[in-house]
Amino acid sequence: MLTDAKAMLEASPDTRHTSPATRTAMNTRDRFPIFKTKTYLNSCSQGALSLDVQQAYETYLRDWDEKGSPWELWVERSETARQAFAGLINAEASEVADCTSVSAGVSAVASALDFSGERNRVVVSDFEFPTIGQIWHAQERRGAKVVHVPAAGNIIPMERFEEAIDDRTKIVSITHVCFRNGSRLDVPAIVEMAHRKGALVLLDAYQTLGTMPIDVKALKVDFLAGGVLKYLLASAGLAFIYVRKDLVPDLYPTTMGWFSQANIFAMDIYATTPSPTARRFGSGTPPVPCIYAGVAGMKLIQSAEPEKIEAHIREITGAIKEGAMRRGFNLASPVDPARHGALITIRSHKVDLLVKRLDADGVVTSSRDNNLRLSPHLYNNQKDVDTLFDCLMRHRELLV
């Protein structure tokens, strides 16, 4: 298997040569001050802080100071954020609601589904982030039956989805890329499988938004959730839920708030009148400071162009995989670039200690399970990869 993996990598382009995609993407590196002192490879947890996001927070504070309580402006900023996110996923702004977290958005969707009939099964992959599984299991009190699709090592074979999805399935909830090992699911194939059985599909795209082009129309997903904390280069507190527009009129979430109403300034305590758009899946007062930051982060991604970012990340992850295998380290991610995302993982028998040692060396990483997580983005380069492996070789006893 290792021989096949090496052959696959040797057949790929030389990652040390700078491609046009890399040159374009890397033009933004100087917007991220952390690279003056550290090698940052932890975008799967938190995107690096840019000057643009710093300035966005300063603008929010200035608006607050100079204008007092400019709620009309802040509502307008919320609309701008929804439009920016919609543009990133090829949706209409009316199909997008902003929320404070993916947990809030997915909970709103779950609350709108009826599990009282025979079609009450929720199929959940074993690659999901905990919040997704927890939300669906919470629906068991409302009649939902949760079915898990087990992994086989670092992949989930398609036949296991085939076995789990049937005529009783209400919704299939899948991640785009697993947060633990970087494995990427075949979303179009799973969507086709689910729709053939009459089931809906919710895609958690948190680990792919900002790393590649995402088109909800081409993917044919019914719902998509994601936030700006990671590869969209902003901060915690802002996420989005996409709901396919023809589904919106028949879905009535029971987790509500004044910003989910048709007229947010109606202030009616005697009735609820949900927005006719996906905004009904929103909630209360929006996270205004995070919206400023989120718009700035999404603009950075759009200006760098997701297609070029994807090409650049593929070069860097290719260099990481090649470097790991050449040194005898054990990859926990699939080797095939079509089967993993921007997140590459390496096995360690003392991963917490390894992360601490790397941090002391000025290399910022993270871990899940027994995997060292390395997640490059548009701002990383081959020098970062070389620095990483210089440090890993100093601590190789924690890896092999």
Say if residue 271 is in the same domain as residue 187.
yes
Average pLDDT, the chain: 94
Q: Report how many domains make up the chain.
A: 2
Strands of 169-175's sheet in order across: 96-99, 239-243, 223-227, 200-204, 169-175, 121-125, 145-149
Range scoring the smallest mean pLDDT among 15-19, 35-39, 340-344, 365-369: 15-19
**Can you tell me the mean pLDDT for 249-276?**
94
Residues 254 and 281 in one domain: yes
Q: 176-219, pLDDT tens digit by residue?
A: 999 999 999 999 999 999 999 999 999 999 999 999 999 999 99
Q: Are residues 195 and 330 in the same domain?
A: no
Nearest to 363 by CA among 39, 133, 35: 39
- Residue 352's contacts (CB-CB under 8 Å, 6 or more residues apart) are 367
Q: Answer with the residue of higher pLDDT: 33 or 28.
A: 33
Contact between residue 221 and residue 214 where contact means Cβ atoms under 8 Å apart: no
- Residue 5 binned pLDDT confidence (cut-offs 50, 70, 90): very low
State how far the Cα of 367 lies from the Cα of 39, in Å rounded to an integer: 16
- The residue segments making up the domain with residue 355 are 2-49+305-398
Kindly state whether residue 57 falls inside one of the protein's structural domains: no
- Domain end, chosen from 235, 268, 302, is at 302
Residue 23 has pLDDT above 70, yes or no: no
Q: Do 273 and 331 belong to one domain?
A: no
> Is residue 267 assigned to a domain?
yes
pLDDT of residue 296: 98
Residues 89 and 235 in one domain: yes
CATH number of the domain where residue 370 is located: 3.90.1150.10
| pLDDT at residue 11 in the model | 42
pLDDT bracket for residue 27 (50, 70, 90): confident
pLDDT at 20: 57
Q: In b/e form, how buried is each residue of 105-117, taking b as 16+ CB within 10 angstroms?
A: bbbbbbbbbebee
Stretch 323-328: mean pLDDT? 97
Q: What is the pLDDT of residue 24?
A: 52
Is 60 domain-assigned? no
245 belongs to a structural domain: yes
Same domain, 239 and 334: no
Same-domain status, 197 and 216: yes
Which pLDDT score is estimated for 241?
A: 98
Both 131 and 208 in one domain: the answer is: yes
pLDDT grade, residue 22 (50/70/90)? low
85 membership: H or E segment, kind and range: helix 71-89
pLDDT at 7: 45
Higher pLDDT, 313 or 16: 313
Same domain, yes or no, for 226 and 91?
A: yes
- 3-class secondary-structure state, position 112: coil
Residue ending a domain, among 235, 267, 302, is 302
**Is residue 61 a part of any domain in this protein?**
no
> Buried (b) or exposed (e) across 196-232, using 16+ Cβ within 10 A?
eeebbbbbbbbbbbbbbebebeebebbbbbbbbbbbb
Residue 141 falls inside a structural domain: yes
Q: Is 400 exposed, middle or buried (0-12, 13-18, 19+ CB in 10 A)?
A: exposed
Mark whether 148 and 189 lie in a shared domain: yes
For residues 60 and 80, what is the distance between their CA atoms, to the nearest angstrom?
14
Same domain, 114 and 253: yes
Whether 196 and 314 share a structural domain: no
Locate 391 and state its tokens.
């440090």
59 is a domain residue: no
Interval 61-107: pLDDT, tens: 999 999 999 999 999 999 999 999 999 999 999 999 999 999 999 99
Last residue of a domain, one of 237, 269, 302: 302
